[in-house]
Amino acid sequence: MLEGKKVVILGDRDGVPGQAAEEMIKTIAGAEVVYSTTECFV
């Protein structure tokens, strides 16, 4: 689904953090993380 796509990640401190999502995206051939962040709402 994400092959050949550019990916923007908005992670949540109490859900899935950006870094964890990045690691997952790295396993998909051709997907490129162009921006990743983790936000805190508390």
Partner 1 sequence: MSFPVIKGASYSLFHTPEMTVHQGSNQTTERYTNPNSEHFKNLQKSLRSFDEFVKYPPNQVYIGNVKPDMLKCHKRPWYEHPLEAASTDGPFGAIYTEEELIALVKIVDVFDLVVLEEDFQAGAKVKLKNKQELQIIDKLLSKLDTKGEKFAELERMVNEEHAEGMYYSGRLVGCVKKAHAFDAVLTAHVMFENLVSKATAVVNLLQMFTKTKLRPEEVDYIIETSEEACGDMNQRGGGNIAKSIGEVCGCVNATGSDTRSFCAAPVHGLVQAAALVQSGIYKNVIVIAGGSTAKLGMNSKSHIEKNMPALEDCLGAFAIHVSENDGINPIIRTDVVGRHTIGAGSAPQAVITAIVTDPLDRADIKLEDIDKFAPELQNPEITVPAGAGDVTLSNLKMIAALGVKRGDFLKEDIERIVNEKGMPGYAPTQGHIPSGVPYIGFARQEILNKKFNKVMIIGKGSLFLGRLTNLFDGVSFVMQDNTGTEEKASVSKEEVRSMVAETLKRLAESL
Residues in the site for partner 1, rule: CB under 8 A? 12-17, 19-20, 23, 38, 40-42
Q: Rounded to the nearest whole angstrom, what is the least distance from the CB of residue 21 to partner 1 in the complex?
A: 9
Q: CB nearer to partner 1: give 7 or 17.
A: 17
Sequence-separated (6 or more) residues with CB below 8 Å from residue 15? none
* 1, 29, 37 from 12: Cα distances, Å: 22, 24, 8
d(C-alpha 32, C-alpha 15), whole Å: 22
Q: Rounded to the nearest whole angstrom, what is the least distance from the CB of residue 7 to partner 1 in the complex?
A: 17
Q: Rounded to the nearest whole angstrom, what is the least distance from the CB of residue 4 to partner 1 in the complex?
A: 26
